[in-house]
């Protein structure tokens, strides 16, 4: 192993910079995720929104984040975003508290769009900072831990909702506000000493020596399809799906989503270690298998099948997210723009997946198929229509890498 890489890693750890980035991921994600089920159930039960309109709330957030991400990447590459970053968690915390006071579909939609823009800028900056400063030999692992801490935040957010909602669901917005605001001073401390050092892997391309450049198109297509199929795990509709199809309580649905998320992140870290130390190909194949398996299991009206399906979706999503950022920064010099594009395509994939899932659920409302004694909801299976494209895009991604 390159001693300079190990020295660089020790510097990041001893200075506390990398740990601050991990803590920011936890606090920011916990804050956002704590508020989501409260908004979702209010929109469903009080505003009487259909699953399709409920999906629009998530789509608005993700579309805004997708549009903001490449712009954030551009400014990051130009070194023009650093001074405004600590303000964004404060803006996000204000948006979270406003959910408690502006309770209508129109206001929810506006707040989701604003929140998406804030997240699009903030999280791209954090991801580029980690990927660019961490040595290539540890990059996938560091990003996996970063996203893992975000997943812990998802679990804690869902856990907070399951505990506090029976008492008073309005309290959850105050807690979300506090968690998000706490990330602001940590972000300021982290970026004071940040020095973005983009390290591009030296490889041979077509027999010639030089810096390798990963073809970005297969990476973006793979990101889009993985996110589209895995969209069933993201956003407001999954809470309602578990409550109505699986007959789980609101609090138990949130708790199960948090638990499977934690287990999924535990399984996703070894996959990224495999990518770092053994082969990226093996990691990509595992992710593809889990991505295609999840909708099949989630369509079965069985607690065991649904639990494993949520776990498979969690593993694929949480393993692919850091792996895609690793690929984006290991072979391309413009780390900010490339990560921004990957973020954007994953968000747009999630938007399309949520649209398909939400409106398909409304279309198949009450329709349960009987297959060999199993009760099947056809809604999750619709997402698998693009599985062949996923396989082709992954094959293309493997061939395009140096």
Q: What is the DSSP string of 184-234?
A: HHHHHHHHHT------PPEEEETTEEEE----HHHHHHHHHHHHHHGGGGS
Confidence of residue 213 (pLDDT cuts 50, 70, 90): low
Coil, helix or strand for 375? strand
The whole-number average pLDDT for the span 80-106 is 86
Neighbours of 213 (CB within 10 A): 15
Neighbours of 399 (CB within 10 A): 9
Beta bridge partner(s), residue 202: 211
Confidence of residue 209 (pLDDT cuts 50, 70, 90): very low
The whole-number average pLDDT for the span 218-233 is 86
pLDDT (tens digit per residue) in 115-125:
999 998 898 88
Q: Which residue has the higher pLDDT, 149 or 208?
A: 149
**pLDDT (0 to 100) of residue 114:** 94
Question: What span, in angstroms and rounded, lies between the C-alpha atoms of 327 and 269?
Answer: 16
The whole-number average pLDDT for the span 27-31 is 91
Neighbours of 316 (CB within 10 A): 27
Confidence of residue 400 (pLDDT cuts 50, 70, 90): low
Domain enclosing residue 149, as ranges = 3-400
**pLDDT (0 to 100) of residue 205:** 38
289 within 8 A of 235, measured Cβ to Cβ? no
Per-residue pLDDT at 80 exceeds 90: no
Confidence of residue 361 (pLDDT cuts 50, 70, 90): confident
**pLDDT (0 to 100) of residue 212:** 46
Q: Which residue has the higher pLDDT, 384 or 178?
A: 178
Residue 61 — left, alpha, or beta (φ > 0 → left; ψ -120 to 50 → alpha)? alpha
**Least confident among 6-10, 230-234, 368-372, 379-383:** 6-10
**Least confident among 89-93, 126-130, 216-220, 327-331:** 327-331
Report percent pLDDT > 70 for the chain: 85
Total structural domains in the chain?
A: 1
Q: Which residue has the higher pLDDT, 317 or 369?
A: 317
**Least confident among 35-44, 51-60, 147-156, 223-232:** 51-60
The whole-number average pLDDT for the span 212-234 is 80
Confidence of residue 179 (pLDDT cuts 50, 70, 90): very high
pLDDT (tens digit per residue) in 279-331:
778 888 888 898 888 888 988 888 888 888 888 888 888 888 888 887 877 65
Per-residue pLDDT at 251 exceeds 80: no
Report percent pLDDT > 90 for the chain: 9
| pTM above threshold 0.85 | no
Question: What span, in angstroms and rounded, lies between the C-alpha atoms of 271 and 261?
Answer: 15
Query: CATH no. for residue 30?
Result: 1.20.1250.20
Calculate the average pLDDT of the chain.
80
**pLDDT (0 to 100) of residue 382:** 86
**pLDDT (0 to 100) of residue 306:** 87
**pLDDT (0 to 100) of residue 26:** 92
**pLDDT (0 to 100) of residue 111:** 92
Per-residue pLDDT at 195 exceeds 60: no
């Amino acid at each position: 192993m390159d001693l300079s890489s190990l020295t660089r890693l020790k510097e990041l750890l001893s200075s506390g910079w990398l740990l601050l980035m991990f803590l920011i991921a936890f606090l920011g994600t916990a804050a956002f995720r704590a508020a989501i089920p409260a908004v979702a159930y209010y929109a469903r039960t009080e505003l009487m929104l259909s699953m399709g309109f409920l999906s629009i709330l998530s789509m608005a957030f993700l579309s805004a984040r997708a549009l903001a991400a490449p712009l954030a990447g551009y400014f990051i590459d130009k070194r023009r975003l650093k001074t405004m970053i600590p303000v964004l968690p404060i803006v996000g915390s204000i948006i979270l508290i406003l959910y408690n006071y502006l309770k209508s579909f129109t206001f929810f939609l506006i707040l989701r769009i604003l929140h998406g823009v804030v997240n699009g800028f903030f999280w791209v900056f954090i991801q580029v900072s980690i990927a660019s400063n961490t040595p290539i030999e540890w990059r996938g692992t560091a990003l996996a831990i970063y996203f893992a801490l975000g997943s812990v935040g998802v679990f804690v957010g869902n856990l907070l909702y399951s505990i506090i909602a029976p008492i008073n669901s309005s309290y959850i917005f105050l807690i979300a506000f506090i968690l998000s605001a706490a990330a602001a001073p940590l972000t300021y401390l982290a970026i004071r000493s940040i020095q973005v050092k983009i390290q591009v892997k030296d490889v041979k391309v077509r027999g010639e020596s030089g810096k390798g450049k990963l073809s970005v198109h297969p990476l973006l297509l793979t990101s889009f399809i993985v996110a589209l199929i895995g969209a069933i795990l993201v956003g407001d509709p999954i809470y309602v799906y578990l409550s109505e199809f699986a007959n789980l309580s609101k609090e138990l649905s949130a708790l199960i989503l948090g638990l499977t998320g934690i287990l999924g992140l535990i399984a996703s870290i070894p996959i990224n270690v495999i990518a770092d130390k053994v082969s990226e190909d093996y990691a990509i194949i595992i992710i593809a298998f889990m991505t295609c398996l999840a909708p099949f299991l989630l369509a079965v009206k069985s607690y065991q099948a649904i639990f494993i399906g949520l776990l498979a979706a969690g593993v694929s999503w949480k393993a692919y997210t850091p792996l895609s950022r690793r690929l984006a920064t290991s072979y391309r010099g413009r780390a900010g723009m490339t990560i921004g594009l990957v973020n954007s395509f994953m968000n747009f994939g999630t938007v399309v997946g949520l649209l398909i899932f939400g409106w398909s659920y409304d279309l198949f409302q009450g329709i349960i198929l009987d297959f060999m004694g199993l009760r099947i909801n056809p809604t999750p299976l619709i997402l698998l229509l693009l599985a062949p494209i996923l396989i082709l895009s992954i094959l293309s991604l493997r061939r395009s890498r140096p």
